[in-house]
Structure 1
Amino acid sequence: MGEAILAINAGTSSVGLTVFDLQNPPRKIATAKVASITAPPQTFQYSHGANKKRQEIDEKLETPQAAFKYLLTHFLHDAELKIVSSKDDIAYICHRVVHGGDFDHEAVITTDSFEYLEALQDLAPLHNTASLDIIRTCLDEIPRAKSVAYFDTTFHQSIPEYIKTYPIHQDVAKSNWLRKYGFHGISYRFISRSVAEFLEKPLETTNIIALHLGSGASICAIKNGKSFDTS
């Protein structure tokens, strides 16, 4: 079994990879990112110890899937990155997936879970398509690693029914998967835990209003450490 964890954050215009070891807690070893996939010039960033670089990419990477392969190749060709000298050194692959539907926890990628995520693509066509393309590539090219999906929507499963339900006919809503799901949940989970730690109080008694501000933005009311409402 390999000794590395590969974490993948696939967006519509960028793909980021991070290598961790299997320590408890895992230690970050190296990071790589391709940015501006859809709005050249594309840039490549790499960091492993003293080896740090940022440069424009000569070849054009047409898709997030192509960017993933480009980044993985750089990891494998870094002679100093001995923890991933081959694909067989990767034990786990952790995928950030924007939309997980009704999943209230992370999901190991199996035939059933992959088909379920494929059915959700209309709810997040740009993000989920990129993630699923990369998951498919990992299953084909790194078959010995266990792929696990972590969803932005999971954190928001605690939103009460009366808040997440849209005021439309419920037969229409249910047949079309229409309700408030919430996004940026991985970010909000991190924020809530970090704030609780900073305030030296239990997560279960932490109440905050948090904002995620990036290329996408949202706001979340966190009550007793759980998502209560979100934009």
Structure 2
Amino acid sequence: MTATRVLVLNSGSSSVKYQLLDMRDSSRLAMGLVERIGEETSRLKHTPLTDGGASRERTEPIADHEAALQAVAEELAKDGLGLDSPELAAIGHRVVHGGQSFTRPTVIDNAVLAEIERLIPVAPLHNPANLTGIRTARALRPDLPQVAVFDTAFHTTMPESAARYAIDVETADAHRIRRYGFHGTSHAYVSRATAELLGRDPSEVNVIVLHLGNGASASAVEGGRCVDTSMGLTPLEGLVMGTRSGDMDPAVIFHLMRVGGMSTDEIDTLLNKKSGLIGLCGDNDMREIRRRIDEGDERAKLAFDIYIHRLKKYIGAYYAVLGRVDAVAFTAGVGENAAPVREAAVAGLEGLGLAVDGDLNAVRGDAPRLISPAGARVAVAVVPTDEELEIAAQTYALVGKNI
């Protein structure tokens, strides 16, 4: 029996998201979420996706990630999809930060674990949780290939002119300070899916990808390779986000320390958790912001206008970086669902060949689709992202040939 299944794990500090896929046809067999790990009110929601199975929930104390994965294994086993199945080919792990060390998916061994751990200072919120998930999964199935798929890997093709900051080179190198970029699995998937939507080979297509969720990032993709992206050393740089400030004069930090008397931790919290849309208007849900705008709320309107202004700046900047743009693709929660954001983002950019058709833009759906007028010079598309499928595909491409 050929093993064709891949379990995708996305381990957070107190959660584990998972999907089980069959790579013969990229179908999903099961998915779920364990949340509030370590609390009395831990919850596991498991959904089998074959034979019309109904979702199941467990609410019970789940002490740690080992207990969480054991619970996941139990739920999968109830559907005949247990972790001991000979059809399971590998486990693919989302790892947020791979630095310059990892430019592609990598089979995990002790040396890889040590390098991911060494990168914790540049990803203190994410890499420790990713490591916990990896170690737990390796203990459960030490015989099974485990693959790390890095958020940063897709962006390692950026030229040094885009990746380096203009600070002292020795200082930057000593502390690994450069633009790494994030959401890489999404940008990779969406840029390729956009080319497929256009009926062209990805190597022929230049795409600006706008991943707009609570976290938001843009990328300039030239012939399938990332040449620039908006997030930097951390996910704080770039677009206005749900709770993150995005681009800002670095001297604001010095001002807050010297004049505002704020500590480093307080400023970190301000810029990452109390800024962006929530800092501007008290809401980070675009649906709520649009509702408030419709009711005449000026603060919500200003927040929306600032969000769109930054988005337009990046579209224009990446148009200049690429020189020729074949498509602009909107993806993730806001990008896929907020028609007013898409309309406003390209309004006034007709001179660049960008426009949306109002009727097409209003249509909702789960499939990739064009929303630009027929014959438009630049295609504008909505392309639902699928990071789990991308992780599974990269994992299976690495280990499947050895099965």
TM value normalised by structure 2: 0.51
Residues 65-76 of structure 1 mapped to structure 2, 5 A cutoff: 66-76=67-77
Residues 171-182 of structure 1 mapped to structure 2, 5 A cutoff: 171-182=170-181
1:82 match:
80
Unaligned runs of 5+ in 2: 231-403
- For the residues of structure 2 that align with 1:54 and 1:211, how far apart are their CA atoms? 34
**Residues 63-97 of structure 1, C-alpha deviation per residue, up to 9 Å, x if partnerless?**
55554343233213x1xx32426366633111111
- For the residues of structure 2 that align with 1:39 and 1:227, how far apart are their CA atoms? 40
Residues 94-173 of structure 1 mapped to structure 2, 5 A cutoff: 94-102=92-100, 103-173=102-172
Would the aligned equivalents of 1:87 and 1:142 in 2 still touch at CA under 8 Å?
A: no
Would the aligned equivalents of 1:95 and 1:150 in 2 still touch at CA under 8 Å?
A: yes
One-letter amino acid of the counterpart of residue 179, structure 1:
R
- For the residues of structure 2 that align with 1:152 and 1:173, how far apart are their CA atoms? 21
Q: Tell me the number of residue pairs that the alignment of Structure 1 and Structure 2 aligns.
A: 226
- For the residues of structure 1 that align with 2:175 and 2:7, how far apart are their CA atoms? 34
Report the alpha carbon displacement of residue 46 of structure 1 after superposing the two structures with TM: 2.0
- For the residues of structure 1 that align with 2:67 and 2:177, how far apart are their CA atoms? 32
Report the alpha carbon displacement of residue 20 of structure 1 after superposing the two structures with TM: 2.4
**DSSP-derived class of the 1:126 partner:** coil
- For the residues of structure 1 that align with 2:219 and 2:83, how far apart are their CA atoms? 41
1:32 match:
32
**DSSP-derived class of the 1:51 partner:** coil
One-letter amino acid of the counterpart of residue 21, structure 2:
F
Identical residues among aligned pairs (%): 35
- For the residues of structure 1 that align with 2:46 and 2:30, how far apart are their CA atoms? 8
- For the residues of structure 1 that align with 2:12 and 2:193, how far apart are their CA atoms? 24
Would the aligned equivalents of 2:96 and 2:123 in 1 still touch at CA under 8 Å?
A: yes
Report the alpha carbon displacement of residue 26 of structure 1 after superposing the two structures with TM: 4.3
Bigger radius of gyration among the two: 2
Q: Give the direction of change, closer, same or farther, for the CA distance of 1:226–1:64 in structure 2 (3 Å limit).
A: farther
Is structure 2 residue 51 aligned with structure 1 residue 53? no
2:9 match:
8
- For the residues of structure 1 that align with 2:83 and 2:222, how far apart are their CA atoms? 45
- For the residues of structure 2 that align with 1:224 and 1:188, how far apart are their CA atoms? 13
Report the alpha carbon displacement of residue 132 of structure 1 after superposing the two structures with TM: 0.4
- For the residues of structure 2 that align with 1:203 and 1:83, how far apart are their CA atoms? 35
1:44 match:
44
Report the alpha carbon displacement of residue 205 of structure 1 after superposing the two structures with TM: 2.0
**More off after superposition, 113-122 vs 30-39:** 30-39
One-letter amino acid of the counterpart of residue 73, structure 1:
E
- For the residues of structure 2 that align with 1:212 and 1:54, how far apart are their CA atoms? 31
Would the aligned equivalents of 2:16 and 2:35 in 1 still touch at CA under 8 Å?
A: yes
One-letter amino acid of the counterpart of residue 166, structure 1:
Y
**Residues 91-130 of structure 1, C-alpha deviation per residue, up to 9 Å, x if partnerless?**
3111111111121111111111111111001111111111
2:338 match:
none
**Residues 23-70 of structure 1, C-alpha deviation per residue, up to 9 Å, x if partnerless?**
3x4432111122466999765332212222264x53244655554343
- For the residues of structure 1 that align with 2:40 and 2:216, how far apart are their CA atoms? 23
Unaligned runs of 5+ in 1: none
- For the residues of structure 1 that align with 2:214 and 2:64, how far apart are their CA atoms? 18
- For the residues of structure 1 that align with 2:126 and 2:120, how far apart are their CA atoms? 8
Q: Give the direction of change, closer, same or farther, for the CA distance of 1:186–1:39 in structure 2 (3 Å limit).
A: farther
**DSSP-derived class of the 1:84 partner:** coil
**Residues 176-228 of structure 1, C-alpha deviation per residue, up to 9 Å, x if partnerless?**
11100000000001101110000011101222221222332211122222212
- For the residues of structure 2 that align with 1:2 and 1:10, how far apart are their CA atoms? 28
**DSSP-derived class of the 1:122 partner:** helix
TM value normalised by structure 1: 0.86
One-letter amino acid of the counterpart of residue 126, structure 2:
H
2:90 match:
92
Would the aligned equivalents of 1:43 and 1:54 in 2 still touch at CA under 8 Å?
A: no
- For the residues of structure 2 that align with 1:40 and 1:206, how far apart are their CA atoms? 50
Q: Give the direction of change, closer, same or farther, for the CA distance of 1:10–1:100 in structure 2 (3 Å limit).
A: same
